[in-house]
Chains A and B, each alone.
Chain A
């Protein structure tokens, strides 16, 4: 069985600065990976590379056995990205935004209603996004990310701006119980560890730790963010 994600010596530079220098790992399908590291460690960069939005500068990246960036077109529809930005148009309503993305992905209108209801936004679905609170925007962004039923979810701090009730609401969509392969970053590493099978800690562009959450202690984690 092919792994959902395979990295071998992944390098990504920004100008002269090397953000990721030689990451290698393998994530089996159906498992969850937490990516830890302080701000600027390259967590978001890694997520963007996996989402086919950034190309690797060296090394091999394969998603579902297809090499990036050459085969990006083949896996693009199977990936859902929840990034820092909601990727929603402010002037359009939540429903219109989702309908637009549904058209891009070739998904039916009934699925739009389904995800709107799932994130508890069915009633407020016609409000323009600019008038929504940040928590509501985040819920819409979750709806957008899972709209096309992706097999791989890339979640950049998925629970930011969400109150506990909303967190519980989106849990079946993007949580461990969704059953899909997940890569997530979090502003709350301790909480993230509880819901993943694998942990990757990035420091100086390299893997400072790669293994099960049980193998990393809170002291090491605190060291990462120091």
Chain B
């Protein structure tokens, strides 16, 4: 197994157990919310997805910084996988969140909720990560530029939240509270278990992606050694690190 991917099996099992526990709590333990009914339960999915994906972006930025400091390709790989996963999670988060918003507020989209709006801006920004990588041919330059992008994007996440929150407070009186600051105990427990489960899922999937990428690289190296450089088709243009 790759030297960079460790503890994959225990991590996978832990993710599975926590997820089953979290979903059981969601459906059988947490009370049905009085105003919103059963649909409210999607709250236990989309908020953890959103929180974890935002942390994933910031993590991608930190890994990018590590790449710039050390020049080691594995950091580029980590940064890429973190942002890739975060993007998938945040698409899930925004779709689930939109369903919840329809159920809770009667609209698929609300501009008066700063968390939602700034989340959208962050997604828009990180959607350009893959196209950026894809359009730089030289792999080394691709890694460096992607790392710079990741650092800027990672720092942009919290800053953007502050500015958007300020603006929404200014333009709209605050009506909704997405965080649900004072959840009753049973709901809070369910929420935190689900948050942990989604975070573990993020870590597991990220590690699987890294493993897959590294295995692919290893296979190519072996093929090149066995068959000779000329007989292995050159790698196509790719957004992913080698």
Chain A residues within CB distance 8 Å of chain B: 14-17
Q: What total count of A-B pairs have CB within 8 Å?
A: 11
Q: Is B139 an interface position by the 8 A CB rule?
A: yes
A-B pairs with lowest CB-CB distance, top 8: A15-B139, A16-B235, A16-B242, A15-B242, A16-B234, A14-B138, A15-B235, A15-B138
Q: Is B224 an interface position by the 8 A CB rule?
A: yes
Q: CB-CB < 8 A to B229: which residues of A?
A: 17
Kindly report which residue of chain A lies nearest to residue B235, judged by CB atoms: A16
CA distance A2 to B81 in the complex (A): 46
Q: Is B220 an interface position by the 8 A CB rule?
A: yes
Q: How far is the CB of B144 from chain A (nearest CB, A)?
A: 11
Q: CB-CB < 8 A to B139: which residues of A?
A: 15
List 11 contacting pairs A-B, 8 Å CB cutoff, sorted by A: A14-B138, A15-B138, A15-B139, A15-B235, A15-B242, A16-B220, A16-B224, A16-B234, A16-B235, A16-B242, A17-B229
Q: Mask for B213-236, Cβ within 8 A of A = 1, else 0?
A: 000000010001000010000110
CA distance A17 to B234 in the complex (A): 9
CA distance A14 to B229 in the complex (A): 13
Interface of chain B residues 103 through 126 with chain A (CB within 8 A): none
Q: How far is the CB of A203 from chain B (nearest CB, A)?
A: 15
CA distance A17 to B221 in the complex (A): 11
Kindly report which residue of chain B lies nearest to residue A57, judged by CB atoms: B140
Q: How far is the CB of B128 from chain A (nearest CB, A)?
A: 23
CA distance A17 to B242 in the complex (A): 12
Kindly report which residue of chain B lies nearest to residue A14, judged by CB atoms: B138
CA distance A119 to B139 in the complex (A): 40
Kindly report which residue of chain B lies nearest to residue A18, judged by CB atoms: B229
Interface of chain B residues 11 through 32 with chain A (CB within 8 A): none
CA distance A47 to B229 in the complex (A): 25
Q: CB-CB < 8 A to A15: which residues of B?
A: 138-139, 235, 242
Apart from A15-B139, A15-B235, A17-B229, 8 more pairs, CB < 8 Å? A14-B138, A15-B138, A15-B242, A16-B220, A16-B224, A16-B234, A16-B235, A16-B242
